[in-house]
């Protein structure tokens, strides 16, 4: 690696570290008091669930080459989660459903 490339790499790394730090530190700087507004508080409470769903659901449908198998696993997982089964039972049954559909 040339010296110029290494210096450029260090500059990019510093910018990325600064942006990451700002994203994490800015809420602590801006919101020093407790949030009293019920709507905003509820909105912020649901953000982790929404982000997790936004990352997980597309991954479910692109995890196999077969869309019907992905749909079968998703349906089984939703039904078992709605019936409040444990995470391990839900994931094993959904995986088994995908496996069974892929066999046919």
Q: pTM score, two decimals?
A: 0.59
> What are the tens digits of pLDDT across the range 32-51?
788 788 898 888 888 888 98
Report the C-alpha gap between 82 and 92 in whole angstroms.
Answer: 15
> What are the tens digits of pLDDT across the range 49-100?
898 889 988 888 888 888 899 999 999 999 999 999 998 999 999 999 999 9
Report the C-alpha gap between 83 and 9 in whole angstroms.
Answer: 51
Report the C-alpha gap between 71 and 59 in whole angstroms.
Answer: 12
Report the C-alpha gap between 21 and 70 in whole angstroms.
Answer: 37
């Amino acid at each position: 690696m040339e010296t110029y490339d290494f210096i450029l790499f260090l500059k990019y790394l510093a910018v990325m570290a600064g942006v990451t730090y700002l994203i994490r530190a800015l809420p602590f700087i801006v919101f020093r008091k407790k949030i009293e507004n019920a709507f905003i508080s509820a909105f912020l409470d649901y953000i982790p669930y929404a982000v997790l769903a936004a990352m997980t659901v597309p991954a479910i449908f692109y995890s196999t080459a077969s869309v019907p198998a992905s749909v079968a696993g998703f349906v089984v997982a939703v039904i078992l989660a709605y019936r409040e089964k444990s995470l391990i039972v839900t994931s094993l049954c959904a995986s088994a459903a995908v496996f069974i559909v892929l066999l046919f």
